[in-house]
Structure 1
Amino acid sequence: MSRLISLLILVIDVIVIIDIVRSNKDTEKKILWIIAVVFLPVLGPILYYFLGNRR
């Protein structure tokens, strides 16, 4: 069960990082968001979709 959760978190992180790279943000903001997602694998994507993903 824990492997499934870990795999799900990894997939979500990769999807969020791809979304960050494709966004129209400045390069500095992209790098900061990617660092946040990598170092906070559960909280990072949540923060990005609530705070950083304003289209």
Structure 2
Amino acid sequence: MEFIFGLIILALDIWAIINVWQSGSSGGAKILWTIGIIVLPVIGLIVWFFAGPKGNARAIT
């Protein structure tokens, strides 16, 4: 069971890292997000999901 859970977390982390590098963020932000996701796999993934840059989001002015 732990193996399946580990594979799911790995797949989601890879998905998050791909999304980081496809985002419109600066290079430094991409590196920091990637490090955060790698160092803290579950927490980094959750934080990216809620706080990461959104592709089509616009700032409210």
Task: Sort the TM-score into its range (normalised by shorter chain).
Answer: over 0.9
Deviation at 1:53, TM superposition (A): 2.7
Gaps of 5+ in 2: none
Q: For the aligned residues, what is the CA RMSD?
A: 0.8
* Structure number having the greater helix percentage: 1
Identity value in percent: 36
Deviating above 4 A after TM superposition, structure 1's stretches of 4 or more consecutive aligned residues are: none
Distance 1:40 1:11 in 2: 14
Instruction: Tell me which residue corresponds to 1:49.
Output: 49
In our comparison, the structure showing a higher alpha carbon Rg is 2
Task: Give the corresponding residue for 1:40.
Answer: 40
Task: Identify unmatched segments of 5+ residues in structure 1.
Answer: none
State the TM-score, normalized to the length of structure 1.
0.94
CA distances 1:1-55 after superposition (whole Å, capped 9, x unpaired): 0000000000000000000000000000000000000000001011011112333
